[in-house]
Amino acid sequence: MEENKKLKKLISAIKNTKFSINYTTENDSVLVHEKINNYLIEFYVFYDKKYYDVISATYLQPEEFSVSYEPLEISSICIYDNKNNIIEFTENEYDLLQIEIEKRIL
């Protein structure tokens, strides 16, 4: 019963959160850490990079381009409490959390 309360509280907090994702051109994924209430949520966001307005490099000028990022998938969700203990949920509960996080990002 206590776990169910934690889950509902966490889902409600996730619904009001805007996740900050620091995309890079070096990788296809990034680890996101987000502090929500007394919980720390960690997960990976896999994304696709789309390059456009590419200007090739010359001797005096480096290559220039614009990049847009398209998040594709979220995986490996891990939730910690305020004492750095991992909070355990059932597989179905983790699926619910993942769906809520994906709604905010994908």
Question: Where are the extended beta strands (E) located within the chain?
Answer: 29-36, 39-55, 64-80
Give the sign of the dihedral formed by CA 6, CA 103, CA 32, CA 72: positive
- The residues, ordered by sequence, that sit 6+ positions from 18 with a Cβ below 8 Å of its Cβ are 104
Residues 13 and 98 sit within 8 Å (Cβ to Cβ): no
pLDDT tens digits, 55-78: 776 777 767 788 889 999 999 999
**Domain locations in the chain as residue ranges:** 2-21+29-105
Write the burial class of residue 10 (CB in 10 Å: 0-12 exposed, 13-18 middle, 19+ buried): buried
pLDDT tens digits, 26-59: 899 999 999 998 899 999 999 999 988 877 767 7
